[in-house]
């Protein structure tokens, strides 16, 4: 059974296939993590299988404009530990924590004292890590804070998976749209003026009459 998308909903469906839509959703979930814990910064890392690295995909707070696209080896830092163990963690004293990569933190311009981090996964497959720097946990307690972070990681996982899917579908969908005869006709009509415009209008009128007769 086929289902035709109503015309009024087609722009919305187009947005669902637009990576920018899911990119904003992912950034929103990162901002939520930062605001919920009143932290200095929060970031989502996406696993790049080809490079075997974790890449800053979205960030909010200190250094957010500089971090996008920066990569971290999967075996380094708190983020690497979370990626490899699949466990959510609150690291309270980073000065004494051997897992903390202080050199990398200094390169970002933000050296935290505490880090919360949780794995992002979809259907049991790890896809990234959510990290919150210098969270304020007064009023939460570790258990409640981890529960809240877990809920935010679920939202971030969904947003990240949709973003990756939209990016992978994007080129093919754009090519399909560009090859659609009606879209090519519409583009051609938009480029015509004067006599060309009149001829194009006559063509459209003839097509409309033909379709009306067949209908």
Q: Are 188 and 200 in contact (CB under 8 A)?
A: yes
Query: Which parts of 118-193 fold into alpha helices (H)?
Result: 142-179, 181-190
Task: Show Cβ contacts of residue 113 under 8 Å, excluding neighbours closer than 6 positions.
Answer: 93, 94, 95, 134
Exposure of 198 in the CB half-sphere (CA atoms within 13 A): 2
- Distance, in Å, from the CA atom of 98 to the CA atom of 108, rounded to the nearest integer, reads 19
Predicted pLDDT at 9: 41
Rounded CA-CA distance 144/197 in Å is: 66
How far apart CA 120 and CA 22 sit, in angstroms, is 16
pLDDT the model gives residue 4: 45
For the chain (215 residues), the mean pLDDT of every run of 10, in chain order, is: 44 51 76 94 92 91 83 94 95 94 90 95 88 92 93 86 69 48 51 56 57 50
36, 52, 132 from 119: Cα distances, Å: 18, 16, 12
| Cα 35 from chain centroid (whole Å) | 19
Cβ(117)–Cβ(78) below 8 Å: yes
What is the pTM assigned to this prediction?
0.69
Predicted confidence at residue 120, as pLDDT, reads: 92
Cross-strand pairs, 129: 45, 119
In this prediction, residue 6 carries a pLDDT of 46
Q: CA angle at residue 30 from 107 to 40, to 5 degrees?
A: 50
* Cα distance between residue 43 and residue 31, in whole Å: 9
């Amino acid at each position: 059974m086929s289902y035709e998308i109503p015309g009024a909903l087609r722009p919305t469906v187009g947005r669902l296939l637009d990576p920018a839509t899911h990119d904003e959703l992912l950034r929103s979930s990162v901002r939520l993590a930062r605001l919920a814990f009143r932290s200095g910064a929060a970031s989502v890392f996406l696993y790049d299988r080809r490079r075997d690295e974790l890449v800053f995909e979205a960030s909010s707070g200190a250094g957010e404009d500089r971090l996008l696209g920066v990569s971290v080896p999967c075996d380094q830092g708190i983020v690497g530990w979370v990626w490899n163990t699949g466990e959510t963690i609150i690291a309270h004293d980073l000065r004494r924590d051997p897992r903390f990569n202080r050199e990398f933190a200094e390169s970002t311009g933000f050296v935290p004292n505490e880090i919360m981090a949780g794995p992002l996964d979809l259907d049991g497959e790890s896809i990234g890590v959510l990290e919150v720097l210098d969270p304020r946990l007064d009023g939460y307690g570790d258990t409640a804070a981890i529960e809240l972070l877990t809920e935010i990681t679920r939202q971030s996982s969904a947003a990240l998976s949709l973003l990756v899917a939209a990016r992978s579908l994007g080129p093919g969908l754009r090519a399909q749209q560009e090859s659609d005869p009606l879209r090519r006709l519409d583009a051609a009509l938009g480029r015509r003026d004067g006599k060309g415009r009149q001829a194009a209008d006559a063509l459209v009128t003839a097509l409309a009459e033909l379709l009306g007769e067949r209908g």
